Structure formats: C-alpha cells, structure tokens
Structure 1
C-alpha cells in the first residue's frame, strides 16, 4: 500500500475512532459509555487527526459516528484476527452507508488528492467516508499485518505497528510501562514467598 500522508492520517483517525467507540478498555481504564459529551469529545478527537477543523457534531450525527466507530472496531478485530472475509463484508457495508465516492480535491494551493465523498457532502459523512476507505485500503494491502491489538491487560486498543522489525506489542508507552510494573511486582511477590 503506497501510503500518502492523507491516507495515513485517515487511517490513524479511523483507528482512533474505532478504539474510542469499540474498545472496552483503554490503557487500563474502562470505556465511559452513555456520556454524550464524552462521546462528542471522542469523535472530535478522532476527526481532528484527519482534518484541521472539526465540524460541530449534532446529536443525530453523533449517534451515526458512534455506530461507524463501533463497526470499524469490529472490522479491525476481524482483520487482526485473520478473518479478512468478515472484515471485507463489514467495511463494504460501511462504504455503502457513507456513500463513498472517489473525488479528486484541492484546497487552495495544495496538490490534488483523493477524497472519498462527493463535493458538498455533509462534512461528518465525508470524513467518515475517508476513514472507512482508508481501512478498506489497508485491508487490501500487505501492510494489514501491521495491524495489532495491544498486548497489555485491560487495553483493547488497536494500532499499526510502526517498527521496522514489526515487533511492537503495545499501543502506547503507558501500556508498556503498566505491563512492566505489573511483571516486576509479580516477581517481587514471588521472591518474598
């Protein structure tokens, strides 16, 4: 997969959106559910990765964003688990839902680049189309093996392994440190016995 900066930011945003609405645990903390403002912040933070400006997300749109995020999480889980057929079915459904339609776009003096929603589309739907398409492009590439689930206990986040040797096990330094501290404490308790 030839990763352009636009595609990479869309993929990072898609994974952040999926983790925000699908992961039961994030870095040792249980997901907050049912809190509209927390959900709005989760959606805004993910979309901010793909754009410099985040639209105001109405309650009606927020429900759709949360559903897409949860479905993307399911697709990432299917991909990480090796079930590409199930992931493709999930992503195809999301592509239809987002009305993804490739369109060359240019903002000011920027170079032409691909967006995946028609000009004039609802901004939230347009960004969702970009995010879902980025996951679809990951699915159809050899880079799909870089998709991993965090190895830390009480963290269900997905991430793309950015290491050259493909050895990354944790989504963040925080999860890596929590795991090391837990292992140290377990060894210390075993030594005391």
Structure 2
C-alpha cells in the first residue's frame, strides 16, 4: 500500500467511524448506539486485517467519532474555519505526532500518535490527521452529506464528474422510489 492509498484508507475509516457515532440517521434508519463491531469495521478499512477492540476503548472511540463527525460535517457544509478549529482541538487532544516506526520484519511506516497514548487515541490521531489533510487539500469539496431523507451520513464523492448525491445505492433507490410515488399520487 503506498502513502496515498494509506491516507485514503485512513480517511475512509475516519468517515466510517464518524458516521457510526455522529449521524442520527443512516440509510433511512435511526442510528443505533455504535458497538465494538462498528469500530472494528472502521479500523479494518485502514488495516486490511481483523482488529479486536477492547470494550474499555469503546467510549473513547465513540467520543472521538462524534467529534470527528462534527468537524467533518462542518467541512461538508462549507464551514471550513469552524471545521479547522474542531480538527485542531482534536489533534491536540489526541497528541497527534507523526513519526516513523518499524516492527520486526516490517518496513518503516508512519504512525500519527505520540508514545504512551491509548490504542483508541492512536487511531483517532491517525483519523484526525487524515481529515485535517483533506481540509488542507483541494479535494475538500469532495466530502459531502447524503441528500436522501433520513440519512445524515457523510461520504467522499468518488465519481468522475463529482456529482454524487447519495452515500449509497440504498439511499439513491429510496429517494427515486419516493419521487416516483409522489408523481403517481
């Protein structure tokens, strides 16, 4: 995985974690309280391996996910300065400190957390750094909020012409069916 792919994976994981704990509605359903499974699914997006999350870390992931959602939602709404302020506060709270590390038999790789922080704080530092890098790039306008009714999910528009409006085909289909029914009524 090259550096750009890792950043994209970290950003995808950040958005997934943020949606899991920050969005009130997701794809037409009221969002349930997140559990270790949603955290593990988000982490799997960046590691490509199964990561087991200790229940004691869930509260920290939940709080961090809510803060990330707030910051990313502000960015998607075009409130860049407010988003930057939220992200800066989260970067400070997680003590994000990029450094190169190598584990036995592995190549050097970049970690974003300071020594001595919890595993959850380390992951949140990485995700916040990825979100901050998005804010500082020309791609920040690709972060969007789903336009479907009863969906508060955020997503990165990956379409070629940058016109994606929905976080998923489920939201797109629900919207099209509702419009069809409204025309027939």
- TM-score, scaled to structure 1: 0.87
Give 3-state SS (helix, strand or coil) of 1:75's partner.
helix
Q: What's the CA shift string for 1:46-77, capped at 9, x where partnerless?
A: 12212223243233x21111111011111011
* Long gaps (5+) in structure 1: none
Deviations 1:67-120 (A, max 9, x none): 110111110111011111111111111111111110123456655332201356
CA distance in 2, matches of 1:28, 1:3: 35
Partner of 2:119: 123
1:82 alignment counterpart: 78
SS class of match (1:115):
strand
CA RMSD of the aligned region, Å? Answer: 1.9
Structure 2, unmatched stretches of 5+, are none
Residue by residue over 1:116-148, the C-alpha shift from the partner in whole angstroms, topping out at 9 and shown as x without a partner, is: 013564322211111010001001111001000
In the superposition, the TM-score normalised over structure 2's length comes to 0.91
Q: Is the 8 A contact 2:20 2:38 kept in 1?
A: yes
How many residues are treated as equivalent by the alignment? 183
- What is the aligned partner in structure 2 of residue 28 from structure 1? 28
d(CA) in 1 for partners of 2:155 and 2:3? 16
Structure number with greater Rg is 1
Q: Which moved more, 1:38-47 or 1:109-118?
A: 109-118
3-state SS in 1 of match to 2:139: helix
